[in-house]
Structure 1
């Protein structure tokens, strides 16, 4: 029996968890683990692709995809276990938009030819995808985008600019929203295109963020010719495609795992630096512990409701993204503040306190990497608008 013919969704939760835990212990490289002092470690480029290929070879790739399309076909509850075990094993995070966003979109709305061509190439990492949504004047307000695609015969001619395109410099392809028509309602006239980044007329410029990382990019399109067959869904109906693509994104983004790792480090720093007798520090730590405890219960309750109903998540999941990202802000700020002058050092710093152990970590990098979390995947202000209108029923 080959790995891809194994129906792991038929296993009990305990059997599934045990098999995945054993696989991760055997195959995930120890040198790539998130450790106590590198809680936000990510993989990108070839190290990320190598690990994804290992998952594919052993039948642990694409947990949410149907088995007939090469995925694992897991229920939502087993997907939760899957993510829990990756976090438990210290597997570094990978931004794999081909698997998590484009693949499910093609399965739901793409043509048979598009699924046949693109899905296997996503799974074997021949194609690595980035998302071309935001523009300089259309960030969270995507309906205002201006990148145009004019149909000429069997090709679209694309002109414009995208920004904050995560890992475009590591990607081979981009799925993007472009304006193909003008209507009274801004959400109309937008189409969803698949574009090979090696196409003539495309320029990618990395942007260095506050943490010194080049993971955000600008992407420029200058008379880029894209086959009409690369249109996903109907012409001018890309807004519908884009909304379908979000799916479970905010559930996984809202995971309490990163906040939990930041709190673990904070608690260690308190002990390491001998701050247990500082009432102010201990009061702040207690508040953060209580907030994370409450959030874990909220996250569990929402995930259980999704699993029990068998329906996609509703607008209430915006709560997860807002709370988790803002809690992460407060935790990384706490870690920097209690470390005194060490918190202002850029790069690894050794914190030598009363404990014999020396802690080497980059607190500044963690603080700066936490800053954009409230902005990407829909800024928190937009999430609050969603909650106000669709959950609370408030007037605009």
Structure 2
């Protein structure tokens, strides 16, 4: 596959190339999917098209099959992806497992796992949160005990996204108990989910979809060669792969999409004739413009080679809560028509008012709840006790 230094292009050049290729290759029936988290089989043709082009893993180095994008070009990639309505693909292997192995994995692990992520043979999920260790992840209790060439894993994970259609899980386990600092004694493992003792139970969400799952481990044998990095040093590894991806939790794409739907519905239903609605709409529009400006401020830091500080947490709070306010206003305009999550006819288009409202409930929780983000801002930025 011919390689190109995408970072040498201007942002506008790269944006144009990416947009043209997506327009020609992303199936129309997959654009702007209602389902925010489709399973692999639903988007396999798009996944394989990206892999064949070499555009599946934007930030992996090119020698490992990625595009090698720097932070600036990655932002363009993500912006255009959202603007063009590309469906989300199962991306834990691309965004989490792959980068972790590239930085910390053995040569054997890289040779074995990276190509299978790109081919789609391995579909990954992320085994971090537990019933009593979500936002406070350091209190996790799933244990791994050394037994010869294996570890024996016992415990439970919860809110594991798309675990029911994954065949591998990137797992955080406790290998040593340290009463002085809970972050010590945590280890990263790669676990085959077809191993005896792994049980997955889907959890239906408000929309009746099973995005999340519980995963149980009962005396699961994991080869010691599947440990990534040093035993007991997994906390640093787990944090290291987040990198500049934190900014994308505050990308304005979701509220932008929602506001366009609100505009369509309000225009069709005559809501703009109401001065009170116009006032509420104006506030939402101005807030969206402010979010875009804030996002661009942090993006500029990355484009100039800087590092994001704790203050980036404000983006996630602002974005997720604005998304909720927009979808709440959409429901108010739709009224009784918004029953469940049926599409509402708007001229030649449709608006999924209830579907967007239900989807907006989750972002204030995932990726570190907004309460946790506020604590980060209070401690690290405002220096409050």
Deviates more, 1:99-108 or 1:223-232: 99-108
C-alpha separation in 2, matches of 1:350 and 1:87: 22
Q: Does 1:218 align with 2:201?
A: no
Note the C-alpha offset of 1:82: 1.1
Contact 2:40 2:165 (8 Å CA) reproduced: yes
Contact 1:350 1:358 (8 Å CA) reproduced: no
Cα deviation per residue 1:7-58 (whole Å; 9 max; x = unaligned)? Answer: 32233333222221111111110111117xx4x6443221323212111111
Q: Which residue of 2 aligns with 1:335?
A: 330
Q: Which residue of 2 aligns with 1:26?
A: 24
C-alpha separation in 2, matches of 1:316 and 1:101: 23
Q: Which residue of 2 aligns with 1:16?
A: 14
Q: Which runs of 5+ in 2 are unaligned?
A: none
Note the C-alpha offset of 1:358: 5.8
Q: Secondary structure at the match of 1:146?
A: coil
Deviates more, 1:258-267 or 1:91-100: 91-100
The count of corresponding residues between Structure 1 and Structure 2 is: 384
C-alpha separation in 2, matches of 1:198 and 1:336: 43
RMSD after superposition: 1.6
Contact 2:200 2:216 (8 Å CA) reproduced: yes
Structure 1's 208 and 118: CA in aligned 2 closer, same or farther, altered over 3 A? same
Contact 2:83 2:253 (8 Å CA) reproduced: no
Q: Which residue of 2 aligns with 1:58?
A: 53
Contact 1:137 1:144 (8 Å CA) reproduced: yes
C-alpha separation in 2, matches of 1:42 and 1:134: 18
Q: 1:1-396 residue pairs with structure 2 within 5 A? A: 2-3=1-2, 5-34=3-32, 38=34, 41-184=36-179, 185-308=181-304, 310-343=305-338, 345-351=339-345, 357=347, 359-395=349-385
Note the C-alpha offset of 1:313: 2.6
Output the TM-score relative to the length of structure 1. Answer: 0.93
Note the C-alpha offset of 1:95: 3.9
Note the C-alpha offset of 1:261: 0.3
Output the TM-score relative to the length of structure 2. Answer: 0.96
C-alpha separation in 2, matches of 1:9 and 1:349: 41
